[in-house]
Structure 1
């Protein structure tokens, strides 16, 4: 007993025991924190993957929607068949301007001939007559398929390309295409405070001629972002991409970096999306009371379920995708094309029963945004 009393009265012994206990507690807490952080990063990686694929699907669907409508434009098909490039450019540019005025959306559309030559572009007609065969191997897909396709493709510039083949009397006239360059997806992640980098595999350098002046990242990728800083380049070039591809998340340059492979219409990996978050953002995510998905895409699980059910019911109301998109764009038709649009819509909707039309009216609401001053 006296021995224990002596030990307990020894300040050095007490201090040593205290330090050992604190060290053990520190190790335990560190291991727990490491485990929690690992689980948090894994969960966040899954949510980022869900979010990027959700946004890309929206971008692909939007582009395809407009391309399908344009492919049904008889005047545009006539111009293509007659090789009237000026008429084609006029139709495209005026149509896209009308959409911009009524919806504030910038849509880029182009027409390509059946032998892969640019016929007309809505935003710049200076490239009319330029061959694309070398730059657009994805168009070879339509040698054996008639269905439209919307996917990320390289071309002369990496982007989403919604391509619809145009036929007349079983003869292919060419393709109507709507292209976008990840603008809406980039804006979405910007609003969340998440940096997103779009990277194209460097092996497409010769094909993507409009990106040859873009920065090369780690000798593996070409940066597709139109805006970037030297800090961005330093961060990206400091990444061990071999590790990032394997683990899908690394900590580098004071940031947590997440990796999502980019695939084209054939399922081939052609690049990557890299997301950058600060430790503060990771900590906020780990301690968020919101549901996992809603933290990133502002939808609860129940809301996501409702959206999917609504989409299924919505699609089921129409006999074809074209009918659905025709109604969707009813408020963007230019006044001079209104009569043709009404005639086309009447012919398409005449095939529906009274009950089907009522269902469309009740469930498929399209509103027109009106800009201007209230006086």
Structure 2
């Protein structure tokens, strides 16, 4: 009888341990599934907000390019008048959305006419590194993208037309502050990482924080410890990964020439320290309906 009781006790212990293990695995699977759902939602939300902001920039670019006051001052080549008119329009536009808006106008020879943030800058050749401007002057179609210049930001460009002739172009430039704040309200931190090889163009970012072969474009005061432990260069086009108590989703930014420029990464809490690494390639296409959305 004692032997039978001993075996029953052993079986009960084994069964309890097995059930505990199964319960732990099921709990882990459930937590992993929930985290992946949160990461997928964060990725979808981020892409949606960025696309909406690009369309907003494009609408402003088209609106300003057709503004009679702006066109008339450009035709007269009165830079001081153009500068004042553009900045007055910017003040009004900021009432629609509290985001940083800059405007640059370009001459027909692809040089700078005015920059809303610095009147003294003019006649800067742009053709060699601003492919978006070159494309608009060639195709005479509006374009919007996250494009590289002295900074990395959203740039929407439209042709300036007078008497059915293209006489220049107008560019609306919007930074990422508004998007960061929108994502922050949803519990997401944003990291925009530019490949270091492009710092010869985006030279205003040279002193920003470095994470491996990448430079942090946005907030210099961000906590990057968890992200620094990940080899960013091994990421593909989009996906998810975890590091310590943080979980990240991301997607890549490509230039008009299909060169990978940067990653947009958002993070959320991973208090259970679940390990995930899913990275995917994606086909990239141009939806050409008069407007190029990169």
* TM-score bracket relative to the smaller structure: 0.7 to 0.9
In structure 1, the residue matched to 2:232 is 241
Q: What stretches of structure 1 of length at least 5 have no aligned partner?
A: 284-320, 322-375
Report how far residue 280 of structure 1 moved.
4.2
1:261 to 252, 259, 263: 252
Could you say which residue in structure 2 is the equivalent of 1:287? Answer: none
Which of 257, 263, 266 is 1:272 aligned to? Answer: 263
The answer to whether the 8 Å contact 1:59/1:182 transfers is no
Say which SS state the counterpart of residue 110 (structure 2) adopts: coil
TM superposition shift of 1:57: 1.6
Alpha-carbon distance in structure 2 between the residues aligned to 1:273 and 1:255: 16
Q: Could you tell me whether the CA contact under 8 Å between 1:92 and 1:110 is conserved in 2? A: no
- Tell whether the 8 Å contact from 1:93 to 1:121 is kept in structure 2 after alignment: no
| 2:77 equivalent in structure 1 | 83
Shift of residue 248, structure 1, vs aligned partner: 2.1
Instruction: Report the 3-state secondary structure (helix = DSSP H, G, I; strand = E; otherwise coil) of the residue aligned with 1:192.
Output: coil
Q: How many residues align?
A: 275
Pairing 1:288-299 to 2, within 5 Å after superposition: none
The higher-RCO structure (CA 8 Å, 6+ apart) is: 2
Report the TM-score, using the length of structure 1 for normalisation.
0.66
Instruction: Report the RMSD for the aligned CA atoms in angstroms.
Output: 2.7
Secondary structure of 2:193's aligned partner:
strand
* Greater C-alpha radius of gyration: 1
Alpha-carbon spacing, 1:236–1:21, altered in 2? closer, same or farther (3 Å): same
Any idea what the Cα deviations from partners look like across 1:308-365, whole Å, max 9, x if unmatched? Answer: xxxxxxxxxxxxx9xxxxxxxxxxxxxxxxxxxxxxxxxxxxxxxxxxxxxxxxxxxx
CA distance in 1, matches of 2:188, 2:120: 37
For normalisation by structure 2, the TM-score amounts to 0.82
Q: 1:274 to 1:191 in 2, by over 3 A?
A: same
| Rounded Cα–Cα distance in structure 1 between residues aligned with 2:12 and 2:195 | 56
Q: Does 1:35 align with 2:29?
A: yes
Work out the CA distance in 1 between the residues paired with 2:97 and 2:264. Answer: 29
Counterpart Cα distance in 1 of 2:232 and 2:104: 36
Contact 2:199 2:206 in 1 (8 A): yes
- Decide whether aligned partners of structure 1 residues 103 and 213 sit closer, same or farther in structure 2, where only a CA change above 3 A counts: closer
Structure 1 Cα separation of the partners of residues 31 and 257 of structure 2? 36
Name whichever structure is richer in helix by fraction. 1
